Amino acid sequence: MRPNLDSLSEEILQYIKSENIILFRSMSRAADQVRFIDWDTDHEPDFRRFLECAMSLGVRLIHFHNREFRSQHREEALAMLEDLGLSREAKRELERRIRDLAIYEGFTCAVELTFDYEGRVYLYEMQTEWYEEWQDILDDLELDTEIDGDEASGFGGFYSNN
């Protein structure tokens, strides 16, 4: 898998333009309280098939979002890590995993295409492997936060500004 999805984003934008599809640059719709119908990118990773499906249904409006990994995401995670009552060793391990991802700052880590059809939202999402590692780290932090009793903090704000 690609370490960066910038070229994929460009390919998508060029294809959308060439097919006269209406592009709506949106925030991530993943935060919406909607159940998505996910495109199987493992077996059919070509975004063109997803967009052809939308066009076959008569859908011309496509929501596009690409997510960039920023230093503030790591900084916020490190700050949350300090507040957890983890053992020194566990804290050090999570901190190392967070710091290791610094090499990806500024890279596109996820690309999301969605369209609406008959009250349902269809989703094509491609993520880098290192972004999946990032999601695992956030899950670990969130689990430890809930164990510490601070369920009010979450990670929803990490990507809301992109």
The continuous run of DSSP H or E covering 147 comes out as helix 129-147
Task: Examine the pLDDT at 19 and tell me if it is beyond 90.
Answer: yes
Predicted confidence band of residue 87 (pLDDT cuts 50, 70, 90): confident
Beta bridge partners of 125: 112
pTM recorded for the entire structure:
0.77
> Tens digit of pLDDT for each residue in 35-68?
899 999 999 999 999 999 999 999 999 999 999 9
Predicted confidence band of residue 4 (pLDDT cuts 50, 70, 90): confident
Match 């710091």 to its residue by tokens: 99
Q: Is 36 left (phi over 0), alpha (psi -120 to 50) or beta?
A: beta
Mean pLDDT over 113-124 rounds to 96
Tally Cβ neighbours within 10 Å of residue 40: 9
